Structure 1
């Protein structure tokens, strides 16, 4: 069975914007497909049981002003594996903003580059954007939760049908207009979800905890020296790590309503260690070298230390003096992780001495790190990252790090093919940390098609175990999650 579920009313026409073309070209179709009618290259593993979900920005209407790849409408793609069988579906996240623009037949909100164009009440930390819910996805309390990186309402989805269930009825209202930022963290052992949000007006930052029964049990404002734009948060067994990083808006420009990010190279990064149910007075702040951090791999407790591993950027705002102010060259440069000097890094925060120790783990540019979810917040050995294409926000392969021995493995997608963030999926009965699979979507710009790709996590150099050709072309996206069947109460 291969069915078209629906097609959106779409006005996003061909554009010279590089993030609306090629591997980023949006789709207008929602599909429902059974693997029995899809082309399978190789053999689908019979010991792979669960759902691979990937969120991403898929623009429907011609943008209001300049389009940034974080602006598009949220669309989730889900691949279900069970006893060697495969099924696929993709659905837009039907947020209030998405539904309003579908009714209007046009964009009603600007994006992240030109918030001054806003004429309506908006969402996000700027308060001017559409709530697109297109960045992150995690399963908590049996339902998927999605959000955008600039903070949005916590929308829930059915993890099997991808039906939008609306903002979480148990606790979304308690957050007011602050919502939830992407990179909320779920502890698979306790079932708790830790999250944060941020804003330009006080309180500038809030930290919260939702328990396994989906009850908001903790929500605390955290003092910061000024408005910040954090992107991720660390989680250990008993603590979380909050980020106060020296890339933030120029304060004089912000007072005039202008949003110009500046990297303050003489301001140290600050990391706040907070007990899981701690308050502002419990935060212990540690300093580190000036940097920005998009995505962490993992954090854990080791003796007197809190260890945090992830991808550091030591040049997050490259020199743009040589780039013209018009066109897309500046945006491409700002999103170039090679220019941002991105690499795997380790921070050690000593709770006894108050000192921070740092070290690079690699000199190659990789990002979008993932770990085995059972080791999230606990000491782990492996991290699965993505290779980044110079000059573009394209992922063209995967790299496995053995953080114990320093050994690495790499797999590169064929020329003209680009992948998504690849979560780890344990095989049934797995004993070892890397006993399982990496799953990703691959957008093939040469053959104009998309595939779901499965690799053996123990040796990714062997290439895909199987590839399933999907019914439609899908653009590159943001974050992904692997949901074992047990996380949703069994097979449905």
Structure 2
């Protein structure tokens, strides 16, 4: 990367990492004490641009790089590795020259690409999760599911089941049900039927893949699962269909078009899906979904005024427009609840909290089940900088928060339950944090029951890492494969 770039998303907190490290706590500084019962691995993905970009760089365009820290017996080992996608390897073979444009300028594409638009490099830089003893990494615009080695983080290619769904790929925010070991996923694109939905079994084999018909091309970002159902999104924030027919991609928020949520049995198909309408909105990330009597309940962070990045020719104000649509205070993102009644077909909506928050997470074993706690990220106004964490008690309304401090910015947190935990906050909250004052990064370990008390331990990493996207916790008993169903 050139050092003199004027792009704010390639400098400062977003400066890429150019070295792969392996370090342990014999060489890293530990402030406090790592809990002896913290056993497993925290993995976080990130966009880490490795070559001078083609055109205007958006912070979701960069090459994927995973950062992971493995805990056992009060010690830890850190690694970071580039995700070596086909696109990355092709650019390396050309001497470090970018061959594909990013998401904002698809018209610059000279080669067939990946993603919903078919023009991007498959960077696999958004999401990462563990399934069937392997790590799965993907990008939000629908790319191939890349297999990373659980121990070394080295890229092993595309998952076997991913080869069976080409050219569709998967979107980020696939979900794993740790009780059954199944993984649910979806994708979207610009050609009919515009969406597909699938299930990968606990054995790592494709068990279900089916088309889902939408009224036209959409840009969904997340999905939900419950014990018996999957919830798919058809939201009124997408390309203008008339302009798209002319080859112009103009993202538009259609304020008069309802949001639609499709509830389908886990192994159901398009004929079995039930669509529920709700107020117009956009959703990036869900907290959790579950069943309660006749209802399916979905909690997440709603946007009533989503940002609209210009897709096409970019002007001198491109960086300012990127900042505006990434600024959570500008989009007004906050915790919200939708209740879908399977008996009456009615949708009930309610605000949980009006403070701006995003990247909501729950413990892995809570996904798809009734729950009490959501751990959300707080953001600095005006930037895509994660400034703290907020814990919601959705049963009694209690709240806790921990803010990282001036010029200290975190990542999406994860919840690591203690072995044998009987409560969903009986464990630790982990996050990677970058301190711009000290020009260093660290892993924070907090007590999930009392996040306001601050870190139990801080592990100073061997390098300052770039701002990240999504993260996951892999329990020690899931490192080699999914658990046997009870």
Q: Give your verdict on TM over 0.5.
A: yes
Asked if structure 1 preserves the Cα contact closer than 8 Å seen for 2:192 and 2:216, the reply is no
Residue pair 1:437, 1:456 contacting (<8 A) in 2 also: yes
TM-score normalised to structure 2 length: 0.96
Contact 2:42–2:70 (Cα < 8 Å) also in 1? yes
State yes or no: 1:383 paired with 2:368: no
The CA distance in 1 between the partners of 2:249 and 2:332, in whole Å, is: 23
Q: Which residue of structure 2 lines up, in the alignment, with residue 285 of structure 1?
A: 275
1:258 aligns with 2:277: no
Deviations 1:322-365 (A, max 9, x none): x9863411111111111111000000000011000010110100
Deviations 1:266-318 (A, max 9, x none): 00100000000001010100011100000000000000000000100000036
Query: Paired residue for 2:456, among 465, 475, 480?
Result: 465
Residue 18 of structure 1 pairs with residue 2 of structure 2: no
SS of the counterpart of 2:330? coil
Matches within 5 A, 1:57-456: 57-104=47-94, 105-169=96-160, 171-317=161-307, 326-456=317-447
**1:174 & 1:49 partners in 2: Cα distance?**
34
Cα offset for 1:250?
Answer: 1.1
8 Å contact 1:369–1:383 — kept in the other structure? yes
1:391 CA displacement: 1.4
C-alpha distance in 2, partners of 1:324/1:88?
41
C-alpha separation between the residues in 2 aligned to 1:76 and 1:260? Answer: 32
Distance 2:98 2:51 in 1: 6
* SS of residue in 2 equivalent to 1:29: coil
Stretch moving more, 334-343 or 88-97: 334-343
Instruction: Check conservation: 2:303, 2:332, Cα contact below 8 A.
Output: yes
Q: For the Cα contact (< 8 Å) 1:381–1:403, is it kept in 2?
A: yes
Q: Runs of 5+ in structure 2 lacking a partner? A: 482-486
For residues 28 and 339 of structure 1, do their structure 2 counterparts lie closer, same or farther at Cα, with a shift above 3 Å needed? same
Counterpart-to-counterpart distance in 2, 1:319 and 1:135: 18
Which digits, 9 at most, give the CA deviation of each residue in 1:147-190, with x for residues without a partner? 00000111111122101111012x22221111111000000000
C-alpha separation between the residues in 2 aligned to 1:265 and 1:203? 24
2:98 match: secondary structure? coil
**Secondary structure of 1:116's match?**
helix
In 1, Cα distance between equivalents of 2:12 and 2:418: 34
Q: Give the gaps of 5 or more residues in structure 1.
A: 1-10
Residue pair 2:309, 2:322 contacting (<8 A) in 1 also: no
**1:488 equivalenced with 2:479 (yes/no):** yes
Structure-2 separation of matches of 1:325 and 1:38: 43
| Secondary structure at the counterpart of residue 102 of structure 1 | helix
Distance 1:479 1:296 in 2: 13
CA contact (8 A) 2:134 2:480 kept: no
Of 36-45 and 325-334, the range deviating more from structure 2: 325-334
Distance 1:17 1:489 in 2: 41
Q: Encode CA deviations 1:135-158: one digit per residue, 9 max, x unaligned.
A: 001100000000000001111111
Q: What's the CA shift for 1:100?
A: 0.9
How many Å separate the matches in 2 of 1:217 and 1:328?
A: 43
Higher mean C-alpha displacement, 235-244 vs 336-345: 336-345
1:4 maps to none
Q: Measure the CA separation in 2 of the matches of 1:419 and 1:236.
A: 29
SS of 1:308's partner is strand
**Please, which moves more after superposition, 70-79 or 172-181?**
172-181
Alpha-carbon contact 1:12-1:60 (below 8 Å) kept:
no
Distance in structure 2 (CA, Å) of the matches to 1:12 and 1:123: 26
Distance in 2 (alpha carbons) for counterparts of 1:255 and 1:62: 32
